[in-house]
């Protein structure tokens, strides 16, 4: 009899994918787990209670990160959509598109070092606005390049058609362009949110330790070798992207396929 290995291989693959996440949750519930103990001496919600009691400022970092990432995602998606249209109709479209790749030529830390002088002059160093602006500089070109595939001759024809049917610019956007681009807008929002959410190099330099996003906090805990808080902050770090991924899968990808 021939054994069908497929279910076993699939199960193993699922286990391997899920293991780091399960282990992360387990680690966040543990404390005082020392070699050669097989299990930690404490398993419970002590770490979580401490965190939610804001003793370590982790919850504050979570909300700061959420605010920063939502701002970056909203601004970059909106401006990326609008400006990519202007770029598409511009006679120097190719040059402008090429320029959009510029922030990705340099490593984020080097890029931040280049920008730091200007941020210092504008009073954007070490505050949340500065971090939002810095991350926007990274996320906006992404959105611009992302939407460049949306604009084409057919969309131009739709715009012209609405105009001849008596529609103004606002009506063209609200009644045709935005409904047409709805799926792409949601995906771009998701992607730019993730770019901002996991950003470290630029945030650490522009934020100079005063703006502590969750990603910065995770690195701090890891540096301090506080694995339990590190695991806990990783859980918090993963939670919003998982929620977004769920909504994307349920409401966006299904419609696009």
User: Does 257 engage in binding with other proteins (CB under 8 A)?
Assistant: no
Query: Which segment (56-64, 123-131, 171-179, 213-221) binds other proteins by CB under 8 A?
Result: 171-179
Classify residue 185 as exposed, middle or buried by CB count within 10 Å of its CB (0-12, 13-18, 19+).
buried
192 vs 19: CA distance, rounded Å = 27
Q: Minimum distance between the CB of residue 185 and other proteins, rounded to whole angstroms?
A: 13
Query: Which segment (129-137, 141-149, 174-182, 205-213) binds other proteins by CB under 8 A?
Result: 174-182
Sole binder of other proteins in the list 7, 32, 38, 168 (CB under 8 A): 168
User: Does 94 engage in binding with other proteins (CB under 8 A)?
Assistant: no
Q: Cβ atoms within 10 A of the Cβ of 164, count?
A: 7
66: nearest Cα among 236, 249, 251: 236
Nearer to other proteins, 7 or 166 (CB): 166
Helix, strand, coil share (%) of the chain residues, nearest 5: 75, 0, 25
Q: Minimum distance between the CB of residue 182 and other proteins, rounded to whole angstroms?
A: 8
Q: Minimum distance between the CB of residue 160 and other proteins, rounded to whole angstroms?
A: 5
User: Contact at 8 Å (CB) between 214 and 61?
Assistant: yes
Stretch 180-239 residues interacting with other proteins (CB under 8 A): 180, 182
Q: Which helix (H) or strand (E) holds 43?
A: strand 42-43
Binding site for other proteins (CB under 8 A): 154, 157-158, 160-168, 171, 175-176, 179-180, 182
């Amino acid at each position: 009899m021939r054994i069908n290995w497929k279910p076993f291989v699939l199960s193993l693959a699922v286990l391997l994918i899920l293991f780091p996440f399960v282990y992360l949750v387990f680690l966040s519930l543990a404390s005082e787990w020392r070699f050669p103990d097989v299990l930690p001496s404490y398993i419970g919600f002590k770490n979580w209670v401490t965190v939610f009691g804001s003793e370590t400022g982790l919850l504050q970092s979570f909300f700061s990160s959420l605010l920063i990432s939502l701002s970056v995602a909203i601004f970059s998606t909106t401006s990326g959509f609008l400006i990519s249209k202007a770029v598409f109709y511009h006679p120097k479209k190719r040059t402008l598109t090429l320029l959009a790749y510029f922030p990705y030529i340099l490593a984020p830390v080097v890029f931040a070092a280049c920008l730091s002088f200007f941020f210092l002059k504008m009073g954007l160093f070490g505050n949340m606005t500065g971090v939002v602006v810095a991350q926007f500089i990274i996320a906006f070109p992404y959105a611009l390049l992302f939407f460049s595939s949306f604009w084409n001759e057919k969309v131009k024809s739709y715009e012209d058609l609405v105009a001849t049917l008596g529609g103004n610019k606002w009506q063209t956007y609200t009644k045709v362009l935005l409904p047409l681009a709805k799926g792409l807008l949601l995906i771009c929002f998701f992607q730019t949110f993730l770019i901002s959410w996991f950003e470290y190099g630029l945030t650490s330099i522009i934020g100079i330790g005063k703006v502590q996003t969750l990603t910065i906090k995770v690195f701090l805990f890891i540096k301090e070798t506080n694995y339990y808080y590190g695991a806990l902050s990783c859980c918090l770090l993963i939670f919003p992207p998982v929620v977004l991924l769920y909504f994307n899968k349920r409401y966006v990808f299904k419609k696009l396929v």
